[in-house]
Amino acid sequence: MRAKQSEILDTIKSKGLTYQQKHHNLANIAERLVDPIELLNYTSEEMEAIENNMICDLNEGYGVYRPRYIVPDYSIFIKEGCKFLDLNPPTDIDELLDGLLILYSNVPSITSFPVFIGELDQLIDPFITNEDEDYIKIKRFLNHIDKTIPDSFCHANIGPRASKAGELILKAVIELQNPTPNMTIKYNKNITNREFAKLAAKACLVASKPSFSNDDYYIKDVGEHGIASCYNALPMAGGAYTLLRLRLGTIAKSCSSKDELINKALPTFAKHMLSMIDKRIKFIVEESNFFETSFLVKEGFIKKDNFTAMPAIVGLAEAVNHVLKLEDKNERFGQSEYGDEIAHEILTAIEKIVNNHEAVYCERTNNRYLFHAQVGASIDNSDKENTPAHRIPVGDEPILPLHLTQSAQFHKYFPSGTGDLFAFDQTYLNNLDAVLDIIEGAFNKGYRYITTYLQNSDLIRVTGYLVKRSEVEKARREEIVLRNTAMLGMGTDDNAHVFSRRTRD
């Protein structure tokens, strides 16, 4: 959405933002003051789709000068150091952790913070020499990230193989209980040691991380990849140029029949979304000079050929519920077989358009964009009528076995990421085997990604990122908070009531 000049002074005078948050917000306003019709050749119809809230560009801005998500191959640093930053290859764990922290401060993204900080256990494990001393160093390293990258879209990976470094990282995660970094364990039951997986399950309950990704599934679809930001599976040494999303709930409300939605509205808005993605990528690649000037490219941390883009959806539940109402069905998405059929019709229609579209500068993903289930945002009032991704709205959730079966059938549509999350009661801490059995059962049904947390925990996963409830309450009182994601979490809870998910006992 284009910015107004009044936003500049509103930001400067804000009593609810830190200096750093004001700085980032002012930069974003500047990007959105640019006219996309003049700079990017958006059509008036495309801009109208954004202004009418049918398509959301997540306020990425129009003066685009870096990709949205960057997934560097940090193993380059271990092998070759970094010439631009005058860093030699690390010879011990101190040089490794210090060098990584320096690198992180130079990796851009849409948030201005790194959204991927590497496969940490694989990077650290060769440098472990003294378990007790190295644990303290790893804990300080993780705590440093939490305080200097105040944005829980910053994401680390571990697994699938167990390692001493992985164990120490999980131990520190449980002790620190920090929102940042977000974390995923790449899980493969044929590779991941069960005791290591149970330790990860314990951390997931206590600290809402790591989430579990179905590693074998993602390798088949994306190849070598990193899980970045919320739960996005993106090519290693690459990333995603941009992400736009269809607000399916809003689009459906403009239609008077299922036929109008499937055969007229969705093709129109999907093509507008893909056209705008094309134009944004062309500007980044052909005019911003990002790939000509970044040391990350020159030194091999990333390659342009490894980037893709993410056309996405939110609000599947509301779109289906609108069609059910039009057809006088007293049923709701999540508990309706006919509702599931409608959902498949909607997603199949969009998937076909996305897969038939010739993508620009996306060699790594066969010149196609990767369809994505976006977790939601609180940018506009219309987000109140668009539940994240294909999730069942809070309050409509069936019992756990039915919920897993219902949601699993939709994971196949989204190669760049989707996921579901479940709040458990305290008793699950005494039965980690049961938690792991649930996760493996979900993967057997077709899940790509799943996460859990304790309902009574202060640290909670909002949609794909983490916040502390206590920090969100400060934001509600308009007190300054360190992490901007606490403010995003407040908005998402207001819209989708995510703090009140059904407790699984």
Mean pLDDT score, 398-402:
96
How far, in Å, CA of 452 to CA of 435, rounded? 9
Asked whether 121 and 163 are in contact (CB, 8 A), the reply is yes
pLDDT at residue 461, rounded to an integer = 85
Task: Judge residue 61's burial from the number of C-beta atoms within 10 Å of its C-beta, 0-12 exposed, 13-18 middle, 19 or more buried.
Answer: buried
pLDDT of residue 490: 87
Q: DSSP assignment, residue 392?
A: P
Give yes or no for residue 49 having a pLDDT over 70: yes
Q: What stretch of H or E contains 460?
A: strand 459-461
Q: Which two tokens stand for residue 50?
A: 């954004």
Indicate whether 376 pLDDT > 70: no
The greatest distance separating any two alpha carbons of the chain, rounded to the nearest whole angstrom, comes to 68
User: Looking at residues 366-389, what average pLDDT do you find?
Assistant: 89
pLDDT tens-place string over residues 216-265: 999 999 999 999 999 999 999 999 999 999 999 999 999 999 999 999 99
Mean pLDDT for all residues in the chain: 95
Q: Note the pLDDT of residue 209.
A: 96
With CA atoms as reference, report the closest residue to 220 among 207, 209, 233, 211. Answer: 233
Q: Which tokens sit at 142?
A: 């993780």
First vs last C-alpha separation in the chain: 42
3-state secondary structure of 213: strand
Look up residue 421 and give its amino acid: L
Q: How far is CA 102 from its chain centroid?
A: 24
Report the pLDDT value the prediction gives residue 463, as an integer from 0 to 100: 81
Instruction: Give pLDDT tens digits for 249-308.
Output: 999 999 999 999 999 999 999 999 999 999 999 999 999 999 999 999 999 999 999 999
Q: What mean pLDDT comes out for the span 58-63?
A: 94
Contacts of 344 (CB under 8 A, 6+ apart): 409, 410
Alpha carbons 373 and 386: distance in angstroms, whole number: 12
> Which pLDDT does position 67 carry in this prediction?
98
* Residue range 465-494, pLDDT digits in tens: 888 989 888 888 888 899 888 888 888 888
Enter the tokens of residue 465: 């990122």
Q: Could you give the 3-state DSSP secondary structure of residue 371?
A: coil
Pairing state of beta strands 449-454 and 420-424? parallel
pLDDT at 144 > cutoff 90? yes
pLDDT band for position 496 (cuts 50, 70, 90): confident
The pLDDT tens digits of the residues spanning 411-457 come to: 999 999 999 999 999 999 999 999 999 999 999 999 999 999 999 88
Q: How many CB atoms lie within 10 A of CB 366?
A: 9
